């Protein structure tokens, strides 16, 4: 299965992606994670990316698409993948479509996590991020085993500056402006499914179990996963 997860910051995409990568046996591909990985490398691609990041500028679409192409060429994407955080604009979506055509692949389903601004602010107030590995936690919904410490790597957990209310509102406004055409693009193709992401993570998960079952996707397990419980692979 080849999935795209769309939705504003705090919509719950990352939580569901981490669960479903195990259920479906496919990688969760986050553009943020990929950029951080590229920046740690000594490569031509890294040298292309660094000037933009150092200046605080957006990395151009053609470079992002090059990073995506490299990642989707990996062996672990053969049976599918979950794209999280990409595409962000109509231009990126069109570029991705051309890229996938050249690889003889196509997107099966686009999930749009529709969420109210108030719900997003409520969630992000409690979000914590590991300073070392980038793992996300939530004080209420998905707390770490030890307060302030990442289960996965032992790094320090803190709230991101861009999770503060004023910044969040601006980010959501920008996101909605950028993605309006993108959502219509996938709706016209008949592969967009809107999720009411104002529901808690467990309810969203159950909705996806039913949706994927109807689509005939092969799940590794039909048992409901309890949100907030971490398997060894999540820790």
DSSP the chain: -EEEEE--TTSSHHHHHHHHHHHHT--EEEHHHHHHHHHHS-SHHHHHHHHHHHTTPPPPHHHHHHHHHHHHTSGGGSS-EEEES---SHHHHHHHHHHHHHTT----EEEEEE--HHHHHHHHHTEEEETTT--EEETTTB--SBTTB-TTT-PBEE--GGGSHHHHHHHHHHHHHHHHHHHHHHHHTT-EEEEETTS-HHHHHHHHHHHHHHHT---S--SPP-TT---TTT-
Is pLDDT of 217 > 80?
A: no
Q: CATH number for the domain including 82?
A: 3.40.50.300
Residue 13 known to be catalytic: yes
- Options 21, 23, 123, 127, the catalytic residue: 127
Residue 160 known to be catalytic: yes
| Residue-number span of the structural domain to which 175 is assigned | 2-215
Please report whether residue 17 resides in a domain. yes
pLDDT of residue 221: 52
- Options 105, 125, 171, 230, the catalytic residue: 171
Please report whether residue 58 resides in a domain. yes
Task: Kindly report, residue by residue over 54-77, the tens digit of the pLDDT.
Answer: 887 778 899 999 999 989 999 999
pLDDT of residue 225: 54
The pLDDT confidence band at residue 233, using thresholds 50, 70 and 90, is very low
- Options 2, 71, 88, 123, the catalytic residue: 88
Mean pLDDT rounded to a whole number for the chain: 86
From CA 204, how far away is CA 75, in angstroms rounded? 30
pTM of this structure: 0.77
Please report whether residue 71 resides in a domain. yes
Residue 169 known to be catalytic: no
Residue 88 known to be catalytic: yes
Task: Kindly report, residue by residue over 175-205, the tens digit of the pLDDT.
Answer: 888 888 999 999 999 999 999 999 988 999 9
Please report whether residue 228 resides in a domain. no
Please report whether residue 221 resides in a domain. no
- Options 160, 199, 206, 230, the catalytic residue: 160
The pLDDT confidence band at residue 216, using thresholds 50, 70 and 90, is confident
- Options 2, 13, 23, 71, the catalytic residue: 13
Please report whether residue 235 resides in a domain. no
Task: Kindly report, residue by residue over 128-151, the tens digit of the pLDDT.
Answer: 889 888 888 888 878 999 999 999
Task: Kindly report, residue by residue over 14-59, the tens digit of the pLDDT.
Answer: 889 989 998 889 999 988 888 888 888 888 889 998 888 888 777 8
Residue 171 known to be catalytic: yes
The total number of structural domains in the chain stands at 1
Q: How far is CA 135 from CA 60, 79, 215, 224, 228, in A?
A: 26, 25, 30, 23, 13
Is pLDDT of 122 > 70?
A: yes
């Amino acid at each position: 299965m080849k999935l795209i997860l769309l939705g504003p910051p705090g919509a719950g995409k990352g939580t569901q992606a981490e669960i479903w990568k195990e259920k479906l046996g496919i990688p969760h591909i986050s553009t943020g994670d990929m950029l951080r990985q590229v920046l740690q490398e000594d490569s031509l691609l890294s040298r292309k990316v660094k000037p933009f990041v150092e200046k605080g500028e957006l990395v151009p679409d053609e470079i992002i698409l090059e990073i995506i192409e490299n990642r989707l060429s990996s062996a672990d994407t053969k049976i599918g993948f979950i794209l999280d955080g990409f595409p962000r604009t109509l231009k990126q979506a069109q570029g991705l479509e051309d890229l996938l055509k050249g690889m003889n692949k196509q997107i099966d389903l686009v999930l749009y996590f529709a969420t109210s601004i108030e719900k997003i602010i409520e969630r992000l107030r409690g979000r914590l991020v590991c300073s070392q590995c980038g793992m996300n936690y939530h004080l209420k919904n998905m707390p770490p085993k030890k307060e302030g410490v990442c289960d996965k790597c032992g790094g320090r957990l803190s709230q991101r500056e861009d999770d503060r209310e004023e910044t969040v509102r601006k980010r959501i406004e920008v996101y909605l402006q950028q993605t309006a055409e993108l959502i219509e693009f996938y709706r016209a193709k008949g592969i967009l499914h809107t999720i009411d992401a104002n529901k808690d993570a467990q309810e969203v998960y159950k909705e996806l179990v039913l949706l994927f079952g109807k689509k005939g996707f092969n799940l590794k397990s039909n048992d409901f996963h309890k949100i907030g419980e971490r398997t060894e692979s999540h820790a």
